[in-house]
Amino acid sequence: MKFCILAGVTGGHIMPALELSRVLRAHGHDIHWLGASGGQEVVLAERAGFQVHVIKLKRLRSTGRWHWLFVPWRLLFACIKAWRILRHLSVDRVIGFGGMLTAPGGVAAYLLNKPLILHEQNAVIGLTNRCLSYFASGIITAFPKSAYHNSRIRSPLHYLGCPIRQALIEVGKRRKEQAYSGHMSTSCKKQPEKAGTDQFRLLILGGSLGALALNRFLPEVIQALLKANVPLLVHHQCGQRHILTLQTHYKQLSLPDDVINITPFIESIEKAYAWADLVIARAGGMTISELSATASASILIPYPHAADQHQHANADYYVAQHASIIQTEATLQIEPFANLLMNLINNTKKLIEMRRAAHALAKPRASEQMLKILQQF
């Protein structure tokens, strides 16, 4: 069977699409991707060995003064290009993971009478998926149907979860075997021979485009904890564009190098999750799915400018299941946040409860179940 994958703009759309593509390919299916010129989905999909067909498409959401005058024309030309590609490929199914690229590909699938299946990673149905729901065969969701009760959609929902790499799923399995307590890995220690084994391990995921505020705020929280003699190890992922600024900030605060490990990216994110006692992160849909799969205790700080406030919706649902603690960016203060961390560091029972609750929300068979339902449409 031949599939066309539509996913773009952010890693939250691209990574689950890549994982599903690998599973489909492993089962002998022919996989093609539709990508926007200059988009990271083109690079990532080609690196994974998939054939990518490129169309020209700029951002559809913008604050530019004249931007909205050109949106209909950009969409029209992108739809025509996508229609030509899909007609030439003669695909059997089209799978959209949201984002601007799904719009022209979804319209083209409808015009060619091809089954269109959508995947929603967040607790709010995104704009593109809402529009395409009028003629999609179905929407596969990462959150339960109850999370979407206010959404105006016209397609049946299938709660299957988000495709996750097996390495992440194995972390959660090992944590469960250890009753969700204890350390599992030392892979993120910078100088393990000096660090000892009793330090609390804090993983900060500040590599997304909207995480600059976290990269500015959290070093001062860490300084406050170290001044209070809290035994701490920190692995801070900050993204390539912020690495030099963050390194300078930590040096200005005179924080010891053998305690702080700063990296622009984490290639083996499963090792980082396994290493960490607690994760501090934004609340994107993919992050939520990874925290669940790895049974990780976390503090979520939703990005306040996310489209449709979907990160707040994600975090609200997750916290309601006792799987995490939420902090809003607008109310962040150094001393209260440091006190929150100290309370968690001294409350092993609370950490175990969060890990257990997070793991209960995991959907480790999401890819397998998606494969079955895709063949039914």
Instruction: For residue range 258-303, list pLDDT tens digits in order.
Output: 999 999 888 899 999 999 999 999 999 999 999 999 999 999 999 9
The Cα–Cα gap between 299 and 315 comes to: 9
Residue 105 clears pLDDT 60, i.e. is over it: yes
Q: Which amino acid is at 330?
A: A
When mean pLDDT is compared over 151-155, 258-262, 267-271, 352-356, the highest value belongs to: 352-356
CB burial of 357-371 (b: ≥16 within 10 Å; e: otherwise) equals: bbbebbbbebbebbb
Between 11-20, 21-30, 160-169, 197-206, the lowest mean confidence (pLDDT) is in 197-206
Domain residue spans of the chain: 2-163, 166-360
95 three-class SS: strand
What are residue 118's DSSP bridge partners?
A: 96, 139
pLDDT in the model for residue 67: 56
Cβ-based neighbours of 24, under 8 Å, separated by 6 or more: 3, 31, 371, 374
The Cα–Cα gap between 32 and 208 comes to: 27
Find the helix or strand (DSSP H, E) in which 345 lies.
helix 334-345
Compute the mean pLDDT over every residue in the chain, rounded to the nearest whole number: 89
Q: 2-163 — its CATH code?
A: 3.40.50.2000
Tell me if domain 2-163 and domain 166-360 are identical in fold. Answer: yes
What one-character DSSP code corresponds to residue 188?
T
Classify the C-alpha dihedral 244-191-230-179 as positive or negative.
positive
Q: 166-360 — its CATH code?
A: 3.40.50.2000
Kindly report, residue by residue over 43-95, the tens digit of the pLDDT.
Answer: 999 999 999 999 987 655 555 565 556 677 778 899 999 999 999 999 999 99
Q: Are 118 and 102 in contact (CB under 8 A)?
A: yes
Residue 198 clears pLDDT 50, i.e. is over it: yes
